[in-house]
Amino acid sequence: MSTDEPLISNAKLLAFGETILGKLDVSQEHAALTSRILLDADLRGVASHGMAHLVDFYVRRLQMGKINPRPELKLDSDQPSAATLDAGNGLGFVAGQHAMELAIEKAQTTGIGWVSVGNSTHYGAGGYYAMMALEHDMIGFSMTTGGRLVAPPGGLGRAIGLNVLSVAAPTSRDFPYVLDMATSVVAAGKLEIARRRGESIPEGWAQTASGEPLTDPAKLHPDSTMLPLGGTPVLGAFKGFGLTIMVDILTGALSGFGTSAEIDAGLTAAHCFGAMRIEAFQPLADYKERMERMIVAVKETPRRAGVDEIMIPGEPEHALAEQRRAHRRVPVHATVLAGFKEAAAELDVTWDLEDAQ
């Protein structure tokens, strides 16, 4: 256990999130939902999208009036397999849960459901929503616009967002396939972590305003830029750029709300959610048989020295979550806890996160 990252009780984190969001007029149901989705990211080791943002991203913005605690969710369009939801500038978690449930409902009937969402805000880790499809034997999708920090290939300015693509699918094993990726080389959270630790970052993640490699993460702001997946044109940056735009089209353009090129203010966001019912295509057993053969082939691949096992996307996160659920605790960075404590004092929330459990 790192002294910088004490282990905190999952139950207490959930209760703290619920209580502090409730103080800002978020309903009990929505506060509980938000806390659960944030904790889920911590359980899976996605600390950059978990409880660490509870105060900075959500509590502070609710206080500033930039997020509506009591949003009206409104369907702008509702077709048998497609819908568009206006999230009423509420918490992205609330819109995400609602829209993914709607996509799943449509997929039950027609085979596929797809819901675009505009007028929303930061929804945490996209993998959570995609994974909602799993218990229905469906493949799940979730995408979102992200902060405008990325330069297109050949560009030196912040034109497009740190957009995210998440896909989840059942497998033949106990872990699901989960892809949860920013369409940039790395998510901004990786720079945040390196900066906190005083470490440099590899060449290829970001560039200075003049296009030189940026290796000091503290220098990202104000005018450096992050790079699309691939990094340089010769190594595939046009692909990362193309994927970024794909996410923008399916979220910001399809919802009519605006792409990452125009909406990056106060964590405003557009999303989309999709579900495909496997048995609308193929008996589940046949699907799983093909998945098993693929997993075996990948795991039997000859490996580099030092690589014990090749993991399927989602497999390591699943193992970590099992472990953290069993231990009933997740690590939370000391600076994050300090922020919680400050907000708790301000908002008159009982402070018991650091007590022995």
Name which of residues 86 to 115 contact its own copies (CB under 8 A). Answer: 109-114
**Rule CB under 8 A: is residue 81 a binding residue for its own copies?**
yes
Return the number of the residue (35 or 259) whose C-beta is nearest its own copies. Answer: 259
Near its own copies by CB under 8 A: residue from 71, 152, 217, 339: 152
Q: Rounded to whole angstroms, what are the CA distances from 17 to 120, 236, 335? A: 20, 41, 17
Q: Which of 169, 79, 164, 165 is nearest to 132 (CA)?
A: 169
Determine which residue in the list 313, 331, 333, 341 makes contact with its own copies, applying CB under 8 A.
313
Window of 76-84, 120-128, 321-329, 345-353 that interacts with its own copies by CB under 8 A:
76-84
Distance CA 169, CA 188 (A): 26
Determine, following the binding rule CB under 8 A, whether residue 213 of this chain makes contact with its own copies: no
**In the β-sheet with 206-207, what is the strand arrangement from edge to edge?**
160-161, 148-150, 225-226, 206-207
Report the nearest approach of its own copies to the CB of residue 142 (Å). Answer: 13
The answer, yes or no, to whether the previous bond of 222 is cis (omega within 30 of 0) is yes
202 lines the binding site for its own copies (CB under 8 A): yes
Bridge partner list, 179: 167
* End-to-end Cα distance, the chain: 16
For the CB of residue 151, give the shortest distance to its own copies in the complex, in Å: 7
* 74 near its own copies, rule: CB under 8 A: no
Q: Kindly state the tokens that stand for 116.
A: 């675009």
Q: Select from 20, 51, 132, 186 the one that contacts its own copies (CB under 8 A).
A: 186
Nearer to its own copies, 65 or 157 (CB): 157
Site for its own copies in 278-297 (CB under 8 A): 278, 280-283, 286-287, 290-291, 293-294, 297
Stretch that binds its own copies, among 11-19, 26-34, 213-221, 230-238 (CB under 8 A): 230-238
In eight-state DSSP terms, residue 355 is: S
Q: Does 304 sit near its own copies (CB under 8 A)?
A: yes
How long, in residues, is the chain? 357
Q: How far apart (Å, rounded) are the C-alpha atoms in residues 248 and 148? A: 11
310 binds its own copies (CB under 8 A): yes
- Taking the complex as a whole, the smallest distance from the CB of residue 51 to its own copies amounts, in Å, to 24
CA–CA gap between residue 138 and residue 295 (Å, rounded): 19
